[in-house]
Amino acid sequence: MNFRERKERLNYLLEMVEKGQCISLIQVAEKFNCCSKTVERMIIKLRKDGYNIKYCRKLEKYKLVDKKI
């Protein structure tokens, strides 16, 4: 995967989180045709970029707590 594809996937993952469509790592992995560990690394990258992404056990999905710092 090249830089452009990686950036597009990160943006799409962020959009899924913002819209409440990111239910599980496995679901996203199937959509991106990769492993759940890769999705986990993508979420870590978004967190390092300043996005406060948390997993809500009550709602059972990832959510964006607040906008980028």
What structural domains does the chain harbor?
A: 3-64 (1.10.10.10)
pLDDT tens readout for residues 14-34: 999 999 888 889 999 999 999
Structure tokens of 44? Answer: 């870590």
* Mean pLDDT for the chain overall: 90
Q: How far is CA 48 from CA 2, 42, 44, in A?
A: 20, 10, 6
Q: pLDDT > 70: what percent of the chain? A: 96
Q: Which helix (H) or strand (E) holds 32?
A: helix 25-32
pTM: 0.86
